[in-house]
Chains A and B, each alone.
Chain A
Amino acid sequence: MSKSQMIQTDRGSVLTAQEIAEIDAELGHVPYKSGAAIDALKIVQAKRGWVSDECLQAIARHLEMSAEELEGVATFYNLIYRRPVGEKVILFCDSVSCWICGCDDIKQKISAALGVDYGETTADNQYTLLPVPCLGACDRAPVMMVGDDLVTHLDEAKVKALFGDVKVEAGGDQ
């Protein structure tokens, strides 16, 4: 499903039946519906990459909370994206151990290779680059996550192997 297909104007049917089923499954162990707010945001984001205004409103209605209440929750957390992100999010660790091991240089190389800075998405919509607090793999620093994969012992060669060719293939359909 492409991103554009997901944007629907009829607010009542923004969430898919599967999303609703998954959210409802979480409701079993919370005493009131808004208790599942974070689970619901994550469920919707897992399918769509991010949480649009329409989705946020739909989740809020489903959980019988106001959009403001859910917005407050959604914008509090680092890993709930309220703006579109690329196919994969790069969570680049810039915490202390990785910093000691030279992550600033690596970050510059990634930025150069992808043509994006923190908070930006590549023109081909493949990657969004975000900083992340310590990833708990300091013995293998510098590290980052690309999508669900942890990439350790980062160096110039690894950056090149991962992203070396990406920037020219803008709009690539992979």
Chain B
Amino acid sequence: MPTIFVDGQELQVNDGENILEACLNAGLDLPYFCWHPAMGSIGSCRQCALVQYQNEEDTRGRIVMGCMTGVTEGARFSLNAENASEFREAVVESLMLNHPHDCPVCAEGGECHLQDMTVMVGHRDRRYKGKKNTYRNQYLGPLIHHEMNRCITCYRCERYYKDYAGGRDLGAQASHDHLYFGRHEEGVLENEFSGNLVEVCPTGVFTDKPFLKQYSRKWDLQSAPSICTGCAVGCNTAPGERYGKLKRVHNRYNHEVNGYFLCDRGRFGSGYINSDARLDYAGIKKPDGSFMAVHQQQALTTAASWMQGKKVVGIGSPRASMEANYLLRELVGAENFSSGFSDTDSDLMAAVLKILKTTKASNPTIKQMETADAILVLGEDVTNTAPRAALAMRQALRNKSFELAEQIGLPKWQDAAVRNLAQDQLSPMIVVSAMDTRLDDVASHCISLAPDQIAEFAVMVVEAMAGEAVADKQAKQVASILQQAKNPLIVSGTSMQHRGIINGAVAVAEALISKDSNVMLSLCVPEANSLGSAMLSKGSKTLSQLVSTVADADVLLVMENDLERRLSAGQIDLLTADGTQVIAMDVLENNTLGASDMVLPAASFAESEGTLVNMEGRAQRYFPVFQPAAERLASWQWLLKLAAETGHKSLSKLQHFDQVVAACAESQSDLAGLIDAAPDHSFRDRGLKIPRQTHRYSGRTAMNAAVSVHEPQQPKDTETPLSYSMEGLNRDQPSSLRPYVWSPGWNSNQSLQKFQAEVDGPLKGGTAGKRLIVSSSKGAVSKAPKSTMEMQPHQWQLIPVHRVHGSDELSVSTDEIAELAGYACIALGSVVAEKLGVDTGDGVCVSVDGEEVSLEVQILQRVAKNCIGFSAGYGETLSLHAGSTASLSKDTNWQRRSPQLIASDRTIADPVIIDGGSAHV
């Protein structure tokens, strides 16, 4: 570790880091704009200037940029030298030449890095007398608001969007002091990670559009540590609330999981929580089919009267917490419980769980995925099924360039230089899938195969690695690429609903295991708690098994599960048939609730506490951001109250959340780690709970004055270590309890560095979450079956196509996400489209077992033989299943739809009709 001197202070610094990082690590306030811990240095803003001296005798020194200067033993710097301070102030003064003084109406105000840096350098009076440049803003879609006048040209947006996230439709235009960052023409930003622009931009150019419609200042937001429920990655989030509404979701740094970035589903997909369509009160179905609202206690009493002494069966949910699933299982008994997976998922999840527990390949953290030097993806469109993991995979592909950089002694953080050196060279990634994936653009090889053949391909790769004679050239090539890698990563998952693919992935990973390589195997699973639900499935039934026995049951309890998405219509009819009383609780209204006899309003993730187990096997706790409105209760609370009401023997002893966690943790050995997901409710920091509100939280006594002038008492939180208050410390607590970041002088999210043990490293409060699954021994994995589907002529195998916006059950009930989700589509290769005589936007009738559905045509770049895709998880496609065979015909009655994406704040002219175009074949 080199020693350097900054203003005479001796600092031990890390090898290979730059002076800016060294200063920040030492807790020094060195302002910066363009540098970003995840994106490195380019030296454009010139803000992190300090003076470097040749030696002890040198008193003049010269100005250098901290972010562009590496540490060397004995190097001497001054941050406080007068010329350095003057220079840094001059930089801000020049940035301010054109920056509007619109802070009071700017969404960034109060958490603006530019504001912070302006104060930090002491800039006060404006000397420039010229006019400010002004720009025309662009419509960038429903998620991001664009305000170019505020731009300080730090290039962070372009570098994040293009270089980091792989987006192509945003960039720098023009030059000198007329630079413009935007699209070629107005339109929706295409990248699935566009929302991070909001946090990457150091000022208010890119702001959160849904948040603008119901805006509050950062300091007025009440926040709690939370976990995204959008997929199984389990990104850590910091949702903010005011006036009982969820206002926005910000990233919450977890070094091992999401780092600095979220996907757009995670950031923008929680708006459904504010939906007016949510239930406020429990309801009991009247004979006429409508529901009568009843109070909590009445509902509980009625439910208990139905349940007592009767046979009760329960269906849990892979999108609900461990605690709620555990309570339901205990309440009805494991033999009467189903985790709520579809039958296929149930089988796949059992397999995944077994693999993760037994394989010798390591199950990487999301961060570890970035270390891969070769990647094989089998059957998964990761960007759409586990988006944040795909972002990590994109970063892994840069390892080739870091290798080249190391050869010429170029540090990794020299971002532009490393990119210029490597040009278009990337580490190899082979994507084997039935059709287009959103990582194809950076894949070295894209291989289009039907699911069965993907499994077979994996077997061939294994055979090639074992030196067996394999005819398939590509398999041989892939084998050789993977064998040359030090940190090969195999990614697969459940989205193809195909056990053979997963087995194939495991076989490849295990065949690669050797002394010198660290083989990683990452399996994407469908929902936020799929892995946790699988862990709780021991001794329980599959949904089909439950359906077949339900006739004997008197009461069916359905928790946070829309059965339409898991079962056929016929099965649902059986479940809800007369004779069985159905009690369903959920966050949003759905057809399962509609078909029930009693509905219970469940609190959303933002209004409750719980633990989720992500695809890494990490148990992570979320806490209520605000109290649920009216008579909504967390599912675990409904279930605990039902247990008490029905006099359940063991459960009625439990009263508090922590007791439920403890009981769940004790119930099976692999869940013991649950209690370590976060400290329990007794945690105190210097005697105080962790405040959800900032110390500047305003209007506490006045915000409800329109309702009552009496100051309400702050709600008490008896279940968690957090308080609904601004009293307390937000400083040194464990990371799982940090609701937001703020530090004196650092009001923006850049204050994060004050909480990191070192720049871009783990948090001082440790890494949040506890990994429950540790692989132990090498287990036997069944070889992928070599079954090939026999296709009749004119028949097609259905492949589910997952979409960030649209395939997820809850987020799509958010207006902006629904707008982006568009219509469900049938995805065809151009050859098939030509045969059918259809083009993009036409209709195709998909027929499976006599049932027909008409869908809009989407044309893909590459499609495996005999495969067609359907938008998975859309209401229109719930009757379609992976692997089914379908026949297709052109829907001659189809009405072409006009573009659906019309933002509420902008009108689009009628679509232009182009004569002689290729619209119809």
B914's partner among A9, A70, A75 (CB-CB below 8 A) is: A9
Check A12 against B174 for contact (C-beta < 8 Å): no
Query: Shortest Cβ distance from B159 into chain A, in angstroms?
Result: 13
Give the docked Cα–Cα distance between A31 and B420 (Å): 13
Mark contacts of B144-168 with chain A using CB atoms, 8 A cut-off: 1 yes-contact digit, 0 otherwise. Answer: 0000000000000000001000001
Q: Which of A62-117 contact B (CB under 8 A)?
A: 65-72, 75-76
Q: Which of B171-196 contact A (CB under 8 A)?
A: 171-175, 180, 183-185
Question: Is there a chain B Cβ closer than 8 Å to A139's Cβ?
Answer: no
Check B917 against A10 for contact (C-beta < 8 Å): yes
Give the docked Cα–Cα distance between A12 and B915 (Å): 13
10 further interface pairs, Cβ-Cβ under 8 Å (given A10-B918, A65-B168, A66-B168): A9-B912, A32-B423, A57-B184, A68-B168, A68-B184, A69-B171, A71-B171, A72-B171, A75-B173, A76-B174
Give the docked Cα–Cα distance between A72 and B157 (Å): 14
Check A9 against B915 for contact (C-beta < 8 Å): yes
Check A10 against B168 for contact (C-beta < 8 Å): no
Query: Shortest Cβ distance from B171 into chain A, in angstroms?
Result: 4
B918's partner among A12, A71, A72 (CB-CB below 8 A) is: A12
List residues of chain A with CB within 8 A of the CB of B180: 75
Summarize A's interface: helix, strand, loop or mixed. helix
5 tightest A-B CB contacts, nearest first: A66-B168, A67-B184, A68-B171, A72-B171, A75-B174
Check B174 against A69 for contact (C-beta < 8 Å): no
Query: Shortest Cβ distance from A115 into chain B, in angstroms?
Result: 26
Query: Shortest Cβ distance from B400 into chain A, in angstroms?
Result: 15
Question: Is there a chain B Cβ closer than 8 Å to A24's Cβ?
Answer: no
- The residue of chain A having its C-beta at the shortest distance from the C-beta of B182 within the complex is A68
Query: Shortest Cβ distance from B911 into chain A, in angstroms?
Result: 13
List residues of chain A with CB within 8 A of the CB of B170: 68
Question: Is there a chain A Cβ closer than 8 Å to B8's Cβ?
Answer: no
- The residue of chain B having its C-beta at the shortest distance from the C-beta of A71 within the complex is B184
Give the docked Cα–Cα distance between A53 and B187 (Å): 15
Which of under 10, 10 to 19, 20 to 34, or 35 or more describes the interface residues of B? Answer: 20 to 34
Query: Shortest Cβ distance from B517 into chain A, in angstroms?
Result: 30
Q: Which of A11-39 contact B (CB under 8 A)?
A: 12, 31-32
Say whether, besides A10-B914, A10-B916, A32-B423, A69 and B168 are in contact (CB < 8 Å): yes
List residues of chain A with CB within 8 A of the CB of B912: 9
List residues of chain B with CB within 8 A of the CB of A72: 171-173
A66's partner among B169, B172, B424 (CB-CB below 8 A) is: B169
Which of under 10, 10 to 19, 20 to 34, or 35 or more describes the interface residues of A? Answer: 10 to 19
Give the docked Cα–Cα distance between A66 and B171 (Å): 10
Count chain B CB atoms within 10 A of each CB in A32, A53, A71 and give the residue with the most.
A71
Number of A-B contacts (CB under 8 A): 49
List residues of chain A with CB within 8 A of the CB of B174: 75-76
Check B184 against A66 for contact (C-beta < 8 Å): yes
Query: Shortest Cβ distance from A109 into chain B, in angstroms?
Result: 28
User: Can you give 8 contacting A-B residue pairs, CB < 8 Å?
Assistant: A9-B917, A66-B169, A67-B184, A68-B173, A69-B168, A69-B171, A71-B171, A75-B173
Check B424 against A31 for contact (C-beta < 8 Å): yes
Check B424 against A68 for contact (C-beta < 8 Å): no
Give the docked Cα–Cα distance between A21 and B918 (Å): 24
Query: Shortest Cβ distance from A7 into chain B, in angstroms?
Result: 13
- The residue of chain B having its C-beta at the shortest distance from the C-beta of A53 within the complex is B185
Check A76 against B175 for contact (C-beta < 8 Å): yes
List residues of chain B with CB within 8 A of the CB of A53: 184-185
Q: Which of B870-921 contact A (CB under 8 A)?
A: 912, 914-918
- The residue of chain A having its C-beta at the shortest distance from the C-beta of B183 within the complex is A68
- The residue of chain B having its C-beta at the shortest distance from the C-beta of A72 within the complex is B171
Query: Shortest Cβ distance from A147 into chain B, in angstroms?
Result: 25
Query: Shortest Cβ distance from A162 into chain B, in angstroms?
Result: 31
- The residue of chain B having its C-beta at the shortest distance from the C-beta of A60 within the complex is B184
Give the docked Cα–Cα distance between A153 and B424 (Å): 48
Query: Shortest Cβ distance from A18 into chain B, in angstroms?
Result: 22
Q: Which of A126-160 contact B (CB under 8 A)?
A: none
List residues of chain A with CB within 8 A of the CB of B169: 66-68
List residues of chain A with CB within 8 A of the CB of B173: 68, 71-72, 75-76
Give the docked Cα–Cα distance between A170 and B182 (Å): 38
Give the docked Cα–Cα distance between A32 and B423 (Å): 9
Give the docked Cα–Cα distance between A168 and B39 (Å): 58
List residues of chain B with CB within 8 A of the CB of A67: 169, 184-185
Mark contacts of B289-319 with chain A using CB atoms, 8 A cut-off: 1 yes-contact digit, 0 otherwise. Answer: 0000000000000000000000000000000
List residues of chain B with CB within 8 A of the CB of A68: 168-171, 173, 183-184
List residues of chain A with CB within 8 A of the CB of B915: 9
Query: Shortest Cβ distance from B784 into chain A, in angstroms?
Result: 35
Give the docked Cα–Cα distance between A68 and B423 (Å): 19
Give the docked Cα–Cα distance between A53 and B186 (Å): 13
Give the docked Cα–Cα distance between A12 and B917 (Å): 9
- The residue of chain B having its C-beta at the shortest distance from the C-beta of A67 within the complex is B184
Give the docked Cα–Cα distance between A9 and B915 (Å): 8
- The residue of chain A having its C-beta at the shortest distance from the C-beta of B915 within the complex is A9
List residues of chain B with CB within 8 A of the CB of A65: 168
Mark contacts of B421-444 with chain A using CB atoms, 8 A cut-off: 1 yes-contact digit, 0 otherwise. Answer: 001100000000000000000000
